Amino acid sequence: MENNDSSAKKTKNSKSIILLAGFSFIIPLLLLNIYDSSSLELSFSDIKLKKMTVDSAEPALNIKTAVKIKPNLLKNNNLKADSKKKSHNNHKLGAEKKELYLAINLDSIVYTKKADSSGHRIMIMGDSECGGLFSVLNDYCYQNGHELVASLVWNSATILNFAYSDTVIKAINKYEPTFIFIVVGLNEIYASDLKKRKSAAEILANKIKGIPYAWIGPANYAEDNGINAAFASAAEPGSFFLSKDLNLPKGQDGRHPNSLGYQIWMAAIANWLETEAKYHLEMKHPAIRGQKIRAKIINLNAAKYRGY
Amino acid sequence: MLQSTVDINFILNLFSAENIKAAFSYSFNEPWFFTEFSFLFVFGFFLIIYSFIVEKNKWKNVYIILFSLFFYYKSSGPFLGLFILMIISDYLFAKYIANQEGLKKKLLLYLSLVYSLSFLLYFKYSDFVVLNLNQFAGTHFALNNLFLPIGISFYTFQSISYLVDVYRNELAPAKRFSDYAFYMTFFPHLVAGPIVRAKDFLPQIASPNIIDSRLYKESILRILMGLMKKLFIADYLGKYVTILHATPNGFSGFEHFMSMYAYSFQIYFDFSGYSDIAIGIALLLGYRLKDNFDGPYLASNITIFWRKWHISLSNWLKDYIYIPLGGSRHGVFKTYLFLLITMLIGGFWHGADWRFMFWGLAHGLALVLHKIWSTYVKINPKNMLFSFLGVVLTFNFVSICWIFFRSSSFEIAFESINSIFTKINFLEAYTFTMARPEITILILLSMLIVFTPFKVKNFLIEKSYKLPAFTYIILITLTLQLIIQFKDDLIQPFIYFQF
């Protein structure tokens, strides 16, 4: 009898404990939600309490963002590539860039105060090559006072995904970029339905009309069937960067550039933006790389999400 | 005063038709993890309903199974169908195996194993085979680019252990389908382990632990520790490691050196954090899962390390691969060979890539070397100096091996190791701490947590059990706010989800 009583008591107690456990998760999350939806701004000894859904434009932890580098490195940094001679000088350019990047190490860095950025809000979007390029672009943004606000990496995507979905418009509305990088084409270098691709490219160009952009052609390692020409004709004159002649080191899969390849690619794009592109964008080579990525990274996969 | 500043519509929005629909739908881009606040919120409601049916064992089990299936659907979407198919077929296979004798029994076991493994092999390894055929045999097969169903490596190993245990007569097949379904689907261990054995878990289904105040505190502390390990330490260290591995050739030897340690701590805190959350959640429901980590970085040799790291996998490999191969029953040479094979398979289980095989081989060789060493050199385990040197050596060996685990190619891995051994300049330590103070602090904090003796940790945990139960709500609030305070834009999925 006593055992039964004790067992019943334990069960009752157990029920209340589980109930408490349930509320232990709900109450804190409700409180955080209330704070999130309120206009209250709480601080604790000068530290502002962040909200759950706050768009964290500022880094979670302070990382020094601007640097000075030794004069000899600055000299190297001013390498300009003459795009007309690009295909002849690729090997040389590659070697110079490699040397440049290997030369940058902590010894060469003198830290200064964080630069006050009044530059562009930059968004980059594209296929898997965009996934390799955005972190390098991020360093350029830091160096030049721009802010990389979003990176839309749509793996396995083609121009059709970008043209026939509302993803691009939604991203533009949300992140309000003042400059856009488009990196698309690797998955359609052998496409033969060029008419269809060209009209899709025109749709995309119309979608982003009004916002300065740089349309970067795919860094393909084989001759394409004309996709570069199709994109170039759809983009505004002077806004399309032909990447196919660059001699970029390959990654292990043989399809994408490796990390050095992405750096060289970005360096060439930066030179083009500074010298020849329709929309001029300050793009000095970064003195320090591997800066904290503050941009919203949106990862999509066309195999699972076509967008249209 | 407060009311005027709070948008009360948020409660309506929280339960709006759109949100409710989203809550019950699978999103490829936002799969459910334990670290999602939306999961924790729903889990709170799950517990409230659970408290009303906790004494009705049958209903309680059905309720947990349904929630587990829902959890898997939120994590893996349409692959739920595949998972259910596997559960039904393995349950039936085990029934048949138990009723057969001799050759027929053996053939049934092989058939069931081939069947269970076929899903894993197809989803995880078919592209690897195609890629290598194309590369070495000059074929031109197209890659499938398959999406790996989350947790398939874990639940396939669970189902194999169940089938083999039934075959060996070490375990009677589950009497009811619901019992087997409960064991396989139990959501705390479903997607990333620990790999729970049926013989350990099935007996608990009928008589789970009664939740008392102490169990509640233990569970909440485990969950909070797991969240902190994952979201506060591992994710932040991960950011640094990712940056370095994205462009490795521009970083100095010292940066590579620090990145090696950063990744060692990242993977430990990531996976042990996940295990802590899983164990904590299971405990809140009355079920105790075995610990998956036991201070592995305190191991003074590689053999001990493997007894303390991912314990459920190490034991599984030992019981279902190493011992069936022959274990130590066929002489010294074959023992070493079986060890190497086991570790190679263990490496390959982690990923369809030669790097993982290499990683497994390196550990296998280290285990063999340690066996040879211990045959000839006898060291008193109580000798503090040798123990310390052993810990340092083992930790550094394990850390170097992790580079192959983390790098996206051999090229990057060797580049990183080359930088560490040929380009390191320890005078950069000061520059590094100035340039990356947060990473320095986090690495030091990680070292403090990892290398603090268990006695001290247990003392602190015991102290916190003395806090009144309601204070745990405050503790949860503070922890979640701390996570929000330091969280990054992108919460990284658990590393072991991909395996």
Residue range B133-144, pLDDT digits in tens: 887 877 777 776
Q: What is the mean pLDDT of residues B492-496?
A: 52
Q: What is the mean pLDDT of residues A126-144?
A: 91
Residue A61 lies inside a defined structural domain of this protein:
no
Residue A89 lies inside a defined structural domain of this protein:
yes
- pLDDT band at residue B76, thresholds of 50, 70 and 90? confident
Residue A123 lies inside a defined structural domain of this protein:
yes
Does one domain contain both A12 and A161? Answer: no
Does one domain contain both A26 and A148? Answer: no
Res A68: pLDDT: 26
Verify whether the Cβ–Cβ distance A11 to B54 is below 8 Å.
yes
Residue in A with minimal Cα distance to B437: A63
Residue in B with minimal Cα distance to A303: B145
* Average pLDDT value for chain B: 85
Residue A148 lies inside a defined structural domain of this protein:
yes
Does one domain contain both A13 and A87? Answer: no
Closest CA to B250 of A269, A129, A250, A264: A264
Does one domain contain both A35 and A75? Answer: no
Contact indicator for A204, A162 with CB cutoff of 8 Å: yes
3-state secondary structure (DSSP) of residue B391 = helix
For residues B90 and B116, what is the distance between their CA atoms, to the nearest angstrom?
A: 8
**Interhelix angle B198-206/B152-167, nearest 10 degrees:** 90
Q: In this structure, which amino acid lies at residue B472?
A: Y
Which has the higher per-residue pLDDT, A167 or A184? Answer: A184
Residue in B with minimal Cα distance to A63: B436
For residues B115 and B96, what is the distance between their CA atoms, to the nearest angstrom?
A: 14
Instruction: Judge whether B350 counts as a catalytic residue.
Output: yes
Nearest-by-Cβ selection for A13 from B212, B239, B410: B212
- Per-residue pLDDT tens digits for A198-233: 888 998 998 888 889 999 999 877 778 889 999 999
Residue A306 lies inside a defined structural domain of this protein:
no
Residue B325 pLDDT greater than 80, yes or no: yes
Domain range holding A273? 67-301
Verify whether the Cβ–Cβ distance B54 to A109 is below 8 Å.
no
- Enumerate the residues of chain A whose CB falls inside 8 A of the CB of residue B487: 56, 60
* Residue A148's CATH number: 3.40.50.1110
Closest CA to A213 of A295, A132, A269, A160: A269
Whole-angstrom Cα Rg for chain B: 24
- Per-residue pLDDT tens digits for B211-248: 888 889 999 999 999 999 988 888 888 878 877 776 67
Res B43: pLDDT: 92
Residue B24 neighbours by CB distance under 10 Å = 10
Does one domain contain both A40 and A77? Answer: no
- pLDDT band at residue B316, thresholds of 50, 70 and 90? very high
The distance in angstroms from the start CA to the end CA of chain A is 68
Verify whether the Cβ–Cβ distance B5 to A40 is below 8 Å.
yes
Structure token digits, residue B481: 């706010």
Does one domain contain both A240 and A295? Answer: yes
- Enumerate the residues of chain A whose CB falls inside 8 A of the CB of residue B488: 56, 60
| Residue with token string 């030091």 | B444
Residues 6 or more apart whose CB falls under 8 angstroms from that of A246 comprise A86, A90, A219, A264, A265, A268
Does one domain contain both A191 and A284? Answer: yes
Structure token digits, residue B242: 């990712």
Nearest-by-Cβ selection for B212 from A14, A37, A258: A14
The percentage of residues in chain A with a pLDDT greater than 70, rounded to a whole number, is 72
Catalytic residue, from B189, B245, B310, B350: name it.
B350
Cα torsion at A120, A121, A127, A132 (round to 10°)?
A: 70
For residues B153 and A2, what is the distance between their CA atoms, to the nearest angstrom?
A: 48
Verify whether the Cβ–Cβ distance A50 to B485 is below 8 Å.
yes
Apex A102 CA angle, A97 and A104, nearest 5: 100
Measured between alpha carbons, how far is residue B24 from residues A189, B278, B496 in Å? 39, 22, 25
Residues 6 or more apart whose CB falls under 8 angstroms from that of A17 comprise B211, B212, B213, B215, B216, B469
Apex A136 CA angle, A132 and A141, nearest 5: 135
Residue A87 pLDDT greater than 60, yes or no: no
Going from N- to C-terminal start, the domains of chain B cover 33-206, 213-300+381-498
Does one domain contain both A29 and A144? Answer: no
**Interhelix angle B102-120/B79-98, nearest 10 degrees:** 170
Beta bridge partners of A152: A125, A298
Residue A108 pLDDT greater than 50, yes or no: no
Number of domains in chain A: 2
Does one domain contain both A29 and A121? Answer: no
Distance from the Cα of A177 to chain B's closest Cα (Å) equals 18
Q: What is the mean pLDDT of residues B425-442?
A: 81
- pLDDT band at residue B498, thresholds of 50, 70 and 90? low
Which has the higher per-residue pLDDT, A2 or B71? Answer: B71
Res A84: pLDDT: 33
Q: What is the mean pLDDT of residues B97-123?
A: 90
